[in-house]
Structure 1
Amino acid sequence: MDTDEPVIIQIVQQVAARKNVDPMALHPPLHDVIDTDALEALFRSADRDEGVSTVTLEFVYQGYAVRVDSSGDVHVSDSPTIETGSESQPVERSSQ
């Protein structure tokens, strides 16, 4: 998917489309499950660094396998191919 949309927006839109719900109806929200700032920074960095050959991140969100590759392409599939924990837990962030 060649888009200028931020990776996190692509993830939320694709998962919401698969669940046939409004993106705002996803609970827990993506930012409670994964550090979205770090996710965006990782793929911005991979885009700028020509020395980085491949970056791929996989995680489970809302029961779907989400894979983001170094080009920023987002792939959401029905069957997770990665091991999952019991349930996604909110990310604890320290206030700075």
Structure 2
Amino acid sequence: MSQVQTAETDSQRVSRAVIDAVAAVEGIRPTELAPPLYDVVDPDALDKVFAGRSSLGKVVFNYNSYEVTVDADGHVAIKDYSG
């Protein structure tokens, strides 16, 4: 199991941070991810949940062989369970 964590910047949406983090773990370009993120979770809804920066909590979902955790502070953690 490996883990990569990236900080989401003010100029980057949370959904984009997720895409970039998963692509980094896989060693591919973000445009090469399959399936696309929107097949797993609604990117607009994900961005809205964390838009205010006063949000509390986290969102956890599975994407490919990864567990993706997005915290209220904008950090994205990717855990690889593929072995």
Structure with bigger gyration radius: 1
Q: CA deviation at 1:38?
A: 0.7
For residues 63 and 40 of structure 1, the distance between their equivalents in structure 2, rounded to whole angstroms, comes to: 22
CA deviations 1:6-25 (Å, max 9, x no partner) are 11111111101111111101
Q: Over aligned residue pairs, what C-alpha RMSD do you find?
A: 1.7
| Bigger strand share | 2
Q: Which residue in 1 is equivalent to 2:47?
A: 40
Unpaired segments ≥5 residues, structure 2: 1-6
- TM-score after normalising by structure 1: 0.70
Q: Which residue in 1 is equivalent to 2:66?
A: 64
Q: Which residue in 1 is equivalent to 2:36?
A: 29
How many matched pairs? 75
Q: CA deviation at 1:2?
A: 5.0
Does the C-alpha gap of structure 1 residues 79 and 41 become closer, same or farther in structure 2, counting only changes over 3 Å? Answer: same
Unpaired segments ≥5 residues, structure 1: 81-96
- TM-score after normalising by structure 2: 0.79
Does the C-alpha gap of structure 1 residues 2 and 36 become closer, same or farther in structure 2, counting only changes over 3 Å? Answer: closer
State the structure with bigger RCO (CA 8 A, min sep 6), 1 or 2: 2
Runs of 4+ with >2 A deviation: none
